[in-house]
């Protein structure tokens, strides 16, 4: 099945299905959809290391597993160190003429907590050493697996169990850490954002990242009905609205040069994205206005960088 695909409109969908049906993700989970799409794009010749989190727990409840490819469960802290070792070790074996001989892709995956907080040091080390691997971050904007605790990727104003909205607080008071810029600051050959609202763009970026020689990083936006308190049929729509409002722009960075992939002539009001989500429902008008200003400012900054340092 490796390499085979079927036509869907003007796009091709890989037949590879290395994540078997049968898992325990919540109904309507955006992370489950992103994982399925990424696995299709990655194909069969892949070794995956995965930090603890929803994607790990929901695909490997012992004694069963959904994985049809070599897959390693790692700690948060050592995910990128583990894939570095797998890549370096198997390349030495191949140089000595031993199996595996195929063109294997090395992929590490983790949630936003695993990536932007606890696993950041090992990830930075692996990017800096220049290992030939792809890192995929599933960004549902909190530590969801253990009960919706805030992470450094939780956006301003969101209510979580450890930064709850109430009489004395509006919820998260800090701004979302920009992981793509941190990855790109290592001057790696490929860094990008993707969203489940744009599934073909997502698959293309995962494929491109996996085929890049050297380190690649793709940050994937995955709405979470349980943690964001949105309807279970809204994950894909919110994945689109985040892009259309400028909350989560789609772009690529190659050695410091930028390309915006979707740039609407006018952005939709941020309120359209915030309103369907229970985690933002407490926000008064002035806070929504403040979020709109933050989004406008960050979007303009990104556009300026893309204009000043464009990708050919």
Ligand X SMILES: Cc1ncc(C[n+]2csc(CCOP(=O)(O)OP(=O)(O)O)c2C)c(N)n1
Contacting positions for ligand X (CB under 6 A): 31, 52-55, 76, 110-114, 118, 138, 140, 143-146, 151
59 vs 84 by CB, closer to ligand SF4: 59
Residue 174, judged by CB atoms within 10 A of its CB (0-12, 13-18, 19+), counts as exposed
Q: Distance between CA atoms of 280 and 274, rounded to whole angstroms? A: 6
Least Cα distance to 153 among 124, 174, 123 occurs for 174
| β-pairing verdict for 5-8 and 11-14 | antiparallel
Q: Which one of ligand SF4, ligand X, none interacts with residue 110, CB within 5 to 8 A by kind?
A: ligand X
Question: At its nearest, how many Å lie between ligand X and the CB of residue 54?
Answer: 4
The listed partner (ligand X, ligand SF4, none) that binds 202, CB under 5 to 8 Å by sort, is none
By beta carbon distance, the residue nearest ligand X is 111
- Specify the residue, 4 or 146, whose C-beta has the smaller distance to ligand X: 146
**Among ligand X, ligand SF4, none, residue 225 binds (CB under 5-8 Å by kind):** ligand SF4
Nearer to ligand SF4 among residue 15 and residue 27 (C-beta)? 27
| 41 in Cβ contact with 47 (< 8 Å) | no
Is residue 196 within 8 Å of 236, Cβ to Cβ?
yes
| Least distance to ligand X, CB of residue 41, Å | 19
Nearer to ligand X, 14 or 110 (CB): 110
Which of 119/223 has CB closer to ligand SF4? 223
CA angle 94, 188, 16 (to 5 degrees): 55
From the list 184, 42, 40, the residue with the least C-alpha distance to 107 is 42
Smallest separation (angstroms) from ligand X to the CB of 107: 16
């Amino acid at each position: 099945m490796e390499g085979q695909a079927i036509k869907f409109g003007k796009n091709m969908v890989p037949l590879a299905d290395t994540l078997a049906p049968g898992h325990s993700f919540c109904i309507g989970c955006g992370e489950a959809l992103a994982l399925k799409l990424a696995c299709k794009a990655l194909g069969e010749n892949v070794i995956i290391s995965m930090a603890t989190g929803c994607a790990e727990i929901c695909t490997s409840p012992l004694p069963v597993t959904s994985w049809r490819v070599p897959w390693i469960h790692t700690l948060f802290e050592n995910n990128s160190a583990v894939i570095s070792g797998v890549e370096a070790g198997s390349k030495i074996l191949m140089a000595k003429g031993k199996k595996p001989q195929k063109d294997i892709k090395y992929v590490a995956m983790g949630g936003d907590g695993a990536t932007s907080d606890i696993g950041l040091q090992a990830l930075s080390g692996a990017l800096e050493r220049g290992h030939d691997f792809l890192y995929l971050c599933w960004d549902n904007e909190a530590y969801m697996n253990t009960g919706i605790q805030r992470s450094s990727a939780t956006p301003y104003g969101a209510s979580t169990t450890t930064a709850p909205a109430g009489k004395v607080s509006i919820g998260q008071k800090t701004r979302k850490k920009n992981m793509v810029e941190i990855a790109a600051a290592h001057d790696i050959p490929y860094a990008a954002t993707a969203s489940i609202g744009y599934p073909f763009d997502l698959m293309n970026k995962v494929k491109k990242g996996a085929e890049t020689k050297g380190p690649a990083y793709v940050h994937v936006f995955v709405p979470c009905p349980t943690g964001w308190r949105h309807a279970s049929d809204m994950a894909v729509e919110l994945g689109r609205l985040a892009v259309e409002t400028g909350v989560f722009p789609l772009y690529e960075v190659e050695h410091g040069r930028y390309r915006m992939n979707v740039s609407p002539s006018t952005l939709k009001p941020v309120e359209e994205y915030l309103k369907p989500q229970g985690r933002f429902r407490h926000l008064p008008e002035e806070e929504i206005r403040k979020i709109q200003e933050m989004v406008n400012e960050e979007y303009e900054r990104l556009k300026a960088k893309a204009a000043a340092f464009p990708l050919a």
